[in-house]
Amino acid sequence: MLWAAVAAYAVAGVGALTDVISDRNPGRGVLVALLLALALHTASIAVRWQDVGHGPYTTMFEILSSNVWSLSSVFALAYWRGRALRSSAAIVMPIILMLAAWMLSSDHSAGHVPATYDTVWLWVHMFFGKIFLGGLLVAVGLAGIVLLRGGLEVPQRLPALPENAALDVLAYRFMALAFVFETLMLIVGAIWAQDAWGRYWAWDPLETWAFLTWLSLAFALHTRVSFQPSLRMRAVMILPVFVLAFLTFFGVPFISSVPHQGAV
């Protein structure tokens, strides 16, 4: 079922790329493939949940799986609601597919659920985190299209797609959404950390890099508002924020497993 879901994600990705390369705004076909992938993926997560007795949040496989699901869900919702941002699928879907490929190559065996995970704050923390990363992913997709067209106000490349200025405004909105939800994620994470480890903040690697991501988001939003940089620069500024967030979510767990697991 998981392989079928990834195949459907791939169909959505290929469809989006084909449309954008052909200078067409992706249409309903991509959305249908994405929704099919999500349905299959949801069923796959549910079956595994029943088998192992806990949600997808302990191993790298489970974390990747839940993030592929949540990023796709956020993007599907954005894609459905906003026709102007659909071209961003050409950037977003390859990123999701890359995560899906990583997920398939990860160890599928079940992990241990630390006792500190038995709290509602885990769910709230994860929910806010997923909205944050989803918002940032849509923003980076929009920025990617702007940059693919040279970051010009009146692009020569892919002229049939929505105007760069419109994509830029949408990217700004999704950055703002990401900023609000990262703030909430950090707050709820601190509440959880206070109960689980007896301190609300300890500069462990995950906390440190999440805070650096928050700073970079604040930096990018503040620069945009206060200095009105060029369209191209506004798009470029989104990229390092996404890279930081991506490394925080999927890179830091490789170099440190101390804070977010309580098993000793």
Partner 1 sequence: MSVLLARLASPKLTLAILAAIAASVLMTEARWSGATEGLAVALSLVVVNLAAATIINPAFRRQSALLVFHLSLIAIILLVASSRLCYLKGHLELAAGESFAGLLTDFEAGPWHRGQLDAAAFTNDGFAVNYDPGLLRGKTVNRVHWNDENGRAHRAVIGDNHPLVLHGYRFYTSFNKGFAPAFLWLPKSGGQTVRGTVHLPSYPMHEAQQSIEWAPPNSTTRIWTTLHIDEPLLDPQRVSHFALPSNYRLVVRAGEARYDLRPGDRVSLSDGILIFEGLSTWMGYTVFYDWTSPWLLASCLVAALSLAWHYWRKFIAPSKPKGE
Q: How far is the CB of 202 from partner 1 (least distance, A)?
A: 10
How many of the other CB atoms lie within 10 Å of CB of 134? 25
Note whether 75 and 89 are within 8 A (CB): yes
DSSP type of residue 120: H
Residue reference for tokens 């941002």: 85
Provide the token pair at 85.
């941002």
Residue among 84 and 191 whose Cβ is closer to partner 1: 191
Residue 214 CB, shortest distance to partner 1, in Å, is 10
Nearer to partner 1, 3 or 219 (CB): 219
Whichever of 147 and 191 has its CB closer to partner 1, that residue is 191
In the bound state with partner 1, the residue whose beta carbon lies nearer, of 156 and 198, is 198
Smallest distance from partner 1 to CB 61, Å: 17
Binding site for partner 1 (CB under 8 A): 112, 114-116, 118-119, 173, 176-177, 179-180, 183-184, 186-187, 190-191, 194-200, 203, 205, 208, 211-212, 215-216, 218-219, 222-223, 225-227, 262-264
Least separation, in Å, of the C-beta of 10 and partner 1? 33
Residue type at position 10: A
Residue 155 or 262 with smaller CB distance to partner 1: 262
Distances (CA, A) of 190 to 25, 149, 196, 232, 237: 42, 41, 10, 36, 28
Least distance (Å) from partner 1 to the CB of residue 11?
32
Residues 79 and 31: beta-carbon distance below 8 Å: yes
For residue 154, what are its two tokens?
């009146």
Nearer to partner 1, 18 or 119 (CB): 119
Q: What angle do CA 102, 103, 104 make, to 5 degrees?
A: 95
* CA 36 to mean position of chain CA atoms: 19
Query: What is the Cα–Cα distance from 147 to 134, expressed in whole angstroms?
Result: 20
CB of 193 to partner 1, least distance (A): 10
